[in-house]
Amino acid sequence: MAKKKSTKNWLHRHSSDRYVKLSQSGDYRSRAFHKLHEINEKYKILKSSKNILDLGSAPGSWSEYISRNFDNKNLVAIDLIEMKSIRNVYFINGDINKKADREKIINKMNRADLVLSDIAPNITGIEDVDQANFEEILESVLDICFDLLKINGVLVMKFFIGSSYDSSREKLKKSFDKVVVYKPESSRSSSNEIFFVCNGYKD
C-alpha cells in the first residue's frame, strides 16, 4: 500500500512538472533537451560550434535538439545503448570508458569544437561507488578532449555533487581557462545534478 502511494506521488510530481509537459508537447525523445536549451541560452555554446560530440546521447533529445535547430553541424553521438537514428547524426553504440570505442569516435571526428557529456553512470546509491564512477567518466571525457578537442574548444559535462566534486572541478580547471558550474531550472532541485561548463581548452 505504502509503495502504491509513493508511486502515485511520483507520477503526480512527474506529470505536473512543466518541463515534462513541454517535452511531451514538443515530441522530443525526453525532457533532457530543456537542459541543453537552457545551457545554450546562457552560454551560447552551439552557434559557433561546427563539429560536436554528444557523449551518452540516448535516447537522443540533445542530438535531436541540435539537429532540428541548427544547420550545418557535424554531429557524432555515442551511447552504451542503441539510439534511433536522427538526421545528420552519426551514432556509435559504445562505451566511452573503452579505448577501442574512443578510437571509433576519432575515426569519425578528429577535431571537435564542442564536447557534450550528459552521461549518468548507473546510480547505486552508494556514495563512494557513484563518485568513483563519475571520476572514471571524467577521466575518459578528458582523454577524449585530449585526443580531439580543439584548442579553445568547449566542454559541457554533467556531474553529481558529492565527495569528488571539488577535486574534479580542480582537475577540469587545469585543462580549461574557465570552468563554471550551472544548474538548469529544468534539472530537478532535489537532484545533485549540475553541469560543468568549461571554456578555453588548453590541451
Ligand X SMILES: C[S@@+](CC[C@H](N)C(=O)[O-])C[C@H]1O[C@@H](n2cnc3c(N)ncnc32)[C@H](O)[C@@H]1O
User: Rule CB under 6 A: which residues touch ligand X?
Assistant: 29-30, 32-33, 56-62, 78-81, 95-97, 118-121
79: which residues sit within 8 A by CB, 6+ positions away? 56, 57, 58, 91, 93, 94
Q: Which contacts (CB < 8 Å, 24+ apart) does range 12-21 have?
A: 17/188, 19/186
**Nearer to ligand X by C-beta: 33 or 176?**
33
Peptide linkage before 184 cis (omega within 30 of 0)? no
Q: How far is the CB of 91 from ligand X (least distance, A)?
A: 11
**Nearer to ligand X by C-beta: 152 or 191?**
191
- Residue in this structure with the C-alpha cell 538548469, named with its chain if needed: 184
**Nearer to ligand X by C-beta: 85 or 152?**
85
Give the residue numbers marked as catalytic: 158
Q: How far is the CB of 79 from ligand X (least distance, A)?
A: 4
Q: How far is the CB of 10 from ligand X (least distance, A)?
A: 18
Chain position whose Cβ is nearest to ligand X: 56
Widest Cα–Cα separation across the chain: 57
Q: How far is the CB of 181 from ligand X (least distance, A)?
A: 18
Instruction: Choose among 193, 105, 198, 119: nearest CA to 155.
Output: 198
**Nearer to ligand X by C-beta: 79 or 113?**
79
Grid cell locating 105: 569516435
